[in-house]
Amino acid sequence: MNGGWKGGDGPPAMKGISLYVHIPFCAARCPYCDFATAPATSAPRARYIDALATEIVREGTALERPRLRTIYVGGGTPSLLEPDEIARLGRAIDDVFVRRPREVTVEVNPATLDRGRLEAWRAFGVTRISLGVQSFSEAGLRALGRTHQPEDVAPAVAAARGAGCDVSLDLIFGWPGQGPREWHEDLDRAVALAPDHLSCYPLELALEPEDSVANWPGGGWPVVERWRRATAAAQADDRGLALLYAVAHRRLARAGYRHYEIANWARAGKRSLHNVTYWRNGEWLGVGAGAHSHLAGVRSHRPAWLIAYVDAIDRASPRVVDPSADRVSEDAILGLRLDTGIDLGRFAARSGSAARERIGSALRALDGRGLVHWTGDRARLTPRGRILANEVFVRLLS
Ligand code: SF4
């Protein structure tokens, strides 16, 4: 079957969708990264932007000019785009979508936010800047192989605020040498900048080449593998990561942030509306290399490699449809990521009583382990359940 709704279901009900735009370029390759990225100076960069604009126009037209509720420009490092490239993408979107979004986010490397680009992003409609801080410590940034400096962050936050944007900070915990004290320091420095939103992810290192994209311009997978093995041996183990996660939970609660999703905290009214669309299994179109879409109940994606993506757009190939998943389990897992959890009554109304029975008994089998909290028909992960979320999710898949 072809991509998206083109398989014969007709266009999705157009009460509004979300749009994800993928920019794969980065100034340097971080050795822990598992995304398909390309150097910012790539020769095919102009072709990529052409392909992206073509895909936006083609998809928006095919979807009959839907309204965009949220836009998220991620990567990669979208903040490396030049003002004319940003304006070009904005024009393509305006040509074929009704653009009245409640939220427009762009991911930014703290070292790349200059005045010209910030003005171009404001003209694009950006309301929210997500800064890839990762750590405020030089040792942390070195351990993670990052190229920006801790002192780049505060000016980037001030610039984003000066442009009237909300600010989200991404942090990574569990790097070699980081214990609770160092993690507290990172969290304190983040809180001192008063961001609207924070995302905290454990350092995860895929150790299989098929799960990873070899780095450039270095020695490819063998070099990445050496770095990862050394880092994995030196980083916090599962108990250590759980301890650091609990530190974040307490510290950020004390600072007034709501832990609304496993890895995300927000001030009141500042949740990421775009990402909530994913967790509520809503409708979104993803454009660009490796971008995923979920439209009219069908999941699909584009090839991750830049050249394969550009070729697919040149040939007007449809998106690749993902094998049908167990939608009931998928809905339950996504819903449990949020602090609101899942309501089995609503679940039954949407997916039938057999689905309710299956999910309910899988979760009830965990009673007594302190992983799931029940309020009537509503199940939520406890703080311990969030740390051990994969143990819960595996039950829902079996
Ligand atoms: S972690 Fe981010 S900045 Fe680093 S290579 Fe991956 S996408 Fe680029």
Q: Per-residue DSSP letters for 13-47?
A: P-S-EEEEEEE-EESS--TT--S--EETT-TTHHH
Looking at residue 2, its pLDDT comes to 31
Looking at residue 34, its pLDDT comes to 80
214 lines ligand 1 (CB under 6 A): no
Return the ligand 1 atom nearest residue 146 CA: 4
- Comparing CA positions, the residue from 107, 99, 165 lying closest to residue 133 is 107
Sheet of 378-381, strands arranged across: 342-343, 378-381, 372-375
Q: Tell me where in the chain the CATH 3.20.20.70 domain(s) lie.
A: 4-321
Ligand 1 pocket mutation pick from 22, 35, 146 by most atoms within 8 angstroms of CB: 35
For 213-266, write each residue's pLDDT tens digit: 655 556 777 888 888 889 989 988 888 999 999 999 999 999 999 999 999 999
Q: Tell me where in the chain the CATH 1.10.10.920 domain(s) lie.
A: 327-397
Cα separation, 228 vs 329, in Å, equals: 32
Fold that domain 4-321 belongs to in CATH: TIM Barrel (3.20.20)
For residue 215, what are the CA distances in angstroms to 30, 38, 176, 200? 8, 9, 20, 24
Q: Could you say which architecture CATH assigns to the domain 327-397?
A: Orthogonal Bundle (1.10)
Ligand 1 pocket mutation pick from 73, 77, 215 by most atoms within 8 angstroms of CB: 77
Q: Which ranges of the chain have pLDDT less than 50?
A: 1-14
84 half-sphere exposure, CB direction, 13 A CA radius: 2
216 lines ligand 1 (CB under 6 A): no
Output the CA 30–ligand 1 centroid distance in Å.
5
Task: Determine the distance from the C-alpha atom of residue 10 to the mean position of all C-alpha atoms in its chain, rounded to a whole number.
Answer: 28
Q: Is 100 exposed, middle or buried, given 0-12, 13-18 or 19+ CB atoms closer than 10 A?
A: exposed
Looking at residue 8, its pLDDT comes to 35
30 lines ligand 1 (CB under 6 A): yes
3-class state of residue 76 by DSSP: coil
3-class state of residue 155 by DSSP: helix
User: Residue 354 belongs to what H/E stretch?
Assistant: helix 353-364
319 lines ligand 1 (CB under 6 A): no
Looking at residue 29, its pLDDT comes to 82
Residue 72 and residue 18 in contact, taking contact as beta carbons nearer than 8 Å: yes
Cα separation, 29 vs 76, in Å, equals: 9
User: Residue 101 belongs to what H/E stretch?
Assistant: strand 98-108
111 lines ligand 1 (CB under 6 A): no
Q: Where are the beta strands (DSSP E) in 208-275?
A: 258-261, 264-266
- Residues pairing with 68 in the sheet: 17, 99
**Residues listed for the chain:** 398
Output the CA 191–ligand 1 centroid distance in Å.
23
Looking at residue 65, its pLDDT comes to 96
Looking at residue 6, its pLDDT comes to 36
Cα separation, 137 vs 358, in Å, equals: 46
Residue 54 and residue 91 in contact, taking contact as beta carbons nearer than 8 Å: no
Residue 139, φ and ψ in degrees, nearest 5: -60, -40
Which residues, including other chains, have CB under 8 Å from residue 339's CB and lie 6 or more apart?
Answer: 258, 259, 260, 261, 380
Output the CA 227–ligand 1 centroid distance in Å.
16
Looking at residue 9, its pLDDT comes to 38
- Quote the tokens at residue 98: 């009704």
> If you take atom 4 of ligand 1, which residue's CA is the nearest one?
30
- Comparing CA positions, the residue from 362, 296, 366 lying closest to residue 329 is 362
Which amino acid belongs to residue 220? G
